[in-house]
Amino acid sequence: MRIIQINPFCYEIEQEGDMRVPGRIYSSQALMPGVEADQSLKQVANVATLPGIVEASMAMPDIHWGYGFPIGGVAAFDWQDGVISPGGVGYDINCGVRLAATSLDLESLQPYLDKIADALYQGIPCGVGSTGFVKLNQKEAKQVLKQGSRWAVSHGMGTDGDLERTEESGCMTAADPDTVSERALQRGLKQLGTLGSGNHFLEIGVVEEVYDPETAAVYGLSQGQVSVFLHSGSRGLGYQVCDDFLARMTKKAGGLGIELPDRQLVCSWINSKMGQEYYAAMSCAANYAWANRQILMHQAGEVLQQALGMGPRDLGMRLVYDVCHNIAKKETHVVDGVSRALCVHRKGATRAFAPGHPDVCSAYQKVGQPVLVPGDMGTCSYVLAGTQKAMETTFGSTCHGAGRVMSRTQAKKAVKGRSIQRELLDKGIRVRWTGRTTLAEEVPEAYKDVSQVVEVVHGAGISRKVAKLRPVVVVKG
């Protein structure tokens, strides 16, 4: 595999063998050694062999090894002649992040941080196997799968303004609950309104630095302001949808007419019966995830009001935006001067649409879509904005986070004997967690430096820095 550097922020895997397009990796000299340490570049090349792929198989600077596609991977396939692959979406369908701003400042909140940490930990269900306070019957669950965030808003958990500031308004219209298995539906009945485990989190943070005051003001962000940051997905329902279709597509793999370089890349033609059923079921899981985050953020606001003894007006909590990371979507993009309908896979990657794009909500038309990039629990996170350069080069995509550099097993070995809670508290970060090994697995050094990752996408022009957030309270599963 021959890799050449195109510019300081972009590398290319030259097209060879069965590759239909080249590979394109957004990275830097500081980050590339870590990228080359696992099999993720091989996965980029493997994705480039799939039928109907357009322009390049891409990877963002937070790239690391994943199932079939690398995490941090972006690939667009022609809607008529291309494929759709569950491995290009991932198991946690529409794992994503949601940011809310408040009217509070850190100085006034400082005496209450421990109380807030305890209240959020007690009030937000988290951890493996956790169940939410929203209990559904099968009819209601199917309504959630069909309506997404709007279901939560219609049940008093949020406002119509939240929908406008959610990607796709919190609903994939292709959703068809009849394509979701009974097992997947059952797994979703009790998990709506739960955070989950692993790298999912709820954070209280502060806007530590503003890079673009004009855009930050449009987003409603200012230096010293307290924010609420949430990362969660479609829980067991999304996992089961992925598992179901991987098994079904594997049985039919011989009928695709191509030889896959990796069985984890199993896929179907987008316009086949199987491909359309997966797209409809994936859309259901995406809607479940949006409803889940809508409910969780609403609940976080309720908990904060109670803990601080204030009403909603004093808290002033308002959604900045909600973006998804693991998704495949039908989108129109200009390729070689021609508008084409494509199926854009973003796995561990974020949509970054430019100012003026019709899918950017009216409030942000002049500055572009907000991009939310969480780091690890011990450092910082970023708010970016989408750009025209992203529309022209990455199908309107950018990075989604820091990206792991250690497996969970490696992380646990590396921190043996250390008190991660004490280390974080020394940095002014109160942390609460459920799983016995959660803190060890999610230790900051298990991740790339998110600031280096953000510098790559900012330098490449595929998103631009708006603000930096620092955590002061972290709740993890």
pLDDT by residue (tens digit) across 271-297? 999 999 999 999 999 999 999 999 999
What is the three-class DSSP state of 7? strand
Residue 261 is predicted with a pLDDT of: 94
Rounded to whole angstroms, how far apart are CA atoms 49 and 191?
A: 37
Strand-pair partners of 210: 467
Query: Mind listing the pLDDT tens digit for each residue in 449-458?
Result: 999 999 999 9
Contacts of residue 360, Cβ cutoff 8 Å, sequence gap at least 6:
353, 354, 368, 369, 386
Phi-psi region of 87 (alpha: psi -120 to 50; beta: other; left: phi over 0): alpha
Half-sphere exposure of 336 (CA within 13 A, CB side): 3
Q: What φ, ψ does residue 310 adopt, rounded to 5°?
A: -135, 160
Q: Kindly list the domain boundaries of the chain, sorted by start residue.
A: 75-476
Among 358, 394, 432, which Cα is nearest to 195's?
Answer: 432
Which amino acid is present at 409? T
Please name every residue paired with 469 in a beta bridge, in sequence order, or none if there are none: 207, 381
What is 75-476's CATH topology? tRNA-splicing ligase RtcB (3.90.1860)
CA 381 to each of CA 48, 214, 265, 385, 472: distance values in angstroms, whole numbers, following the listed order: 31, 19, 31, 14, 12
> What residues are labeled active site?
400
> Which pLDDT does position 210 carry in this prediction?
98
φ/ψ (deg, to 5) at 61: -65, -15
DSSP characters over 156-182: TSS-HHHHHTBGGGG--TT--GGGS-H
pLDDT in tens, the chain (477 residues): 999 999 999 999 999 999 999 999 999 999 999 999 899 999 999 999 999 999 999 999 999 999 999 999 999 999 999 999 999 999 999 999 999 999 999 999 999 999 999 999 999 988 777 777 788 999 999 999 999 999 999 999 999 999 999 999 999 999 999 999 999 999 999 999 999 988 899 999 999 999 999 999 999 999 999 999 999 999 999 999 999 999 999 998 877 788 899 999 999 999 999 999 999 999 999 999 999 999 999 999 999 999 999 999 999 999 999 999 999 999 999 999 999 999 999 999 999 999 999 999 999 999 999 999 999 999 999 999 999 999 999 999 999 999 988 888 998 898 888 999 999 999 999 999 988 788 999 999 989 999 999 999 999 999 999 999 999 999 998
Which tens digits make up the pLDDT trace of 340-396? Answer: 999 999 999 999 999 999 999 999 999 999 999 999 999 999 999 999 999 999 999
Question: Both tokens of residue 421?
Answer: 């809670």
CB-based contact 89:73 (threshold 8 Å): no
